[in-house]
Amino acid sequence: MNKLNVSLVSLGCPKNLVDAEVMLGHLPADRFQIVTDETQADIIIVNTCAFISDAQEESVDTILEVADHKKHGRCQMLVVSGCLPQRYGEKLAAELPEVDLFVGTADAPRLVALLDAQLERQGQTTAIGRPDFLYDHTTPRVKSSPFYSTYVKIAEGCGNHCSYCVIPRLRGTLRSRSIESIVAEVRRMTADGVKEVNLIAQDITAYGADRDDGARLEGLLRELVKIEDLHWLRLLYAYPDGISDELIELIASEEKICNYLDIPLQHVDDAILKQMNRRVDEATIRGLIRRLRERIPELTLRTSFIVGFPGETEEQFAKLHEFVNEGHFERVGVFRYSREEGTSAAVMEGQIPERVKKSRYAKLMKSQQRVSFRRNRALVGRVEPVLVEGYSEETELLLRGRCIRQAPDIDGQVYITAGNAEIGDIVDLRITDSSDYDLIGEIVED
């Protein structure tokens, strides 16, 4: 029996990437061959994002683009998985007749059975299960990120219920893995050469709250730092009111935990935060930043903000704008509010015109660009550990990498102008120059 070639396109966040790797892991190697060239694929899977309207549009555009391989290529079956079908189900199926099979965010364990059934029938199938799956260390997974770095999902789902967010509907309520399972997975990955582990969840500070065995993020970190081959442990997506003094102390004192924290704040005005159903206010946010900076002077902070939330006045935006100008964050992501069907914010009064959202977005990004430039310039002359990732896209004469201050995929890079190293090496690098988001430096020879 000839193997079927399968190609997978994963869109959206790193959590989606882990889902994609788990889906591929469920395909038995004696029946399926994973290929990266879509033109050589018999089956193409598009793993989608549906968090905001822009992500939904990207997902649909990608599906239509890939569908061309059914018309003019070898593709026999187009599968759409993840958040988009989980959210829209039969409605999506009616709008995309090009798709053969729709599966949801939690259907990896039955993927082979669904593929087999679809191969035996004609027409379109929608097979979307409940969002209740949680992978563990025994779950097969085909790693697609570089050999030296990976994401590990420590929990699935979310119980925060922010008024603008559809995630609980798409991924279910909070489900945390056991500490033992996470440690076992990280041990296996570091034994295979992984040096950087990025812990992810919708909210990593909520980890363990659903369990009755006492598991919490701080306890998990204490176990993970014992792993000898682990070099960098990065924490992504920490809810501000879940950052305890104990967690701050761990980041400050444990060398393997990167001095980097991603804390999505979304806004700073108290009234807007309340409407968003966030459990913090401006005073809490400022107090948290002060505690973090005092205890971890070398900390790199990333956050995200939403502009144009329903009812956001010019004065409220001006407060947020000034907060960004104060320069608290090395990294800031800005989103224009997306009116998502089924959320409480979607029916709020005072919806903001798109042109106003775009203007506020541009102002905030321009201000943060200046902040980022100043903070990068302050690093010139410093020596920083850098993980070498490969060659520059512009020229193979320059190596590139990331320092601890830069998370994969979302932050800038370091361009290495002098010295030699292998991909995956962690080297000491003296910063010689900088731009708005990137750094330039030379390897410090022993």
Per the annotation, where are the binding residues for [4Fe-4S] cluster?
Answer: 13, 49, 83, 158, 162, 165
Query: Residue 36 corresponds to which tokens in the numbers above?
Result: 């990266």
DSSP H helices in 254-353:
270-275, 282-295, 314-325
Q: What is the helix (H) or strand (E) element at residue 426, kind and residue range?
A: strand 426-434
DSSP output for 93-131? HHH-TT-SEEE-TT-GGGHHHHHHHHHTS-S-EEE---S
Structure-block tokens of residue 362: 């541009």
**DSSP secondary structure of 337-361:** ----TTSGGGG-S-PPPHHHHHHHH
Rounded CA gap, 118 and 208, in Å? Answer: 38
Structure-token pair, residue 170? 């798409």
CA proximity to 185, closest of 209, 232, 221, 153: 153
Annotated binding site: 13, 49, 83, 158, 162, 165
Distance CA 78, CA 155 (A): 29
Q: Say how far apart CA 391 and CA 262 lie, in whole Å.
A: 27
Cα 9 from Cα 175, distance rounded (Å): 26
Q: Which of 419, 385, 422, 394 is nearest to 146 (CA)?
A: 422
8 Å CB contact between 8 and 24: yes
* Alpha carbon separation from 11 to 15, 18, 23, 65, 445 (Å, rounded): 10, 11, 14, 14, 40
Neighbours of 385 (CB within 10 A): 15
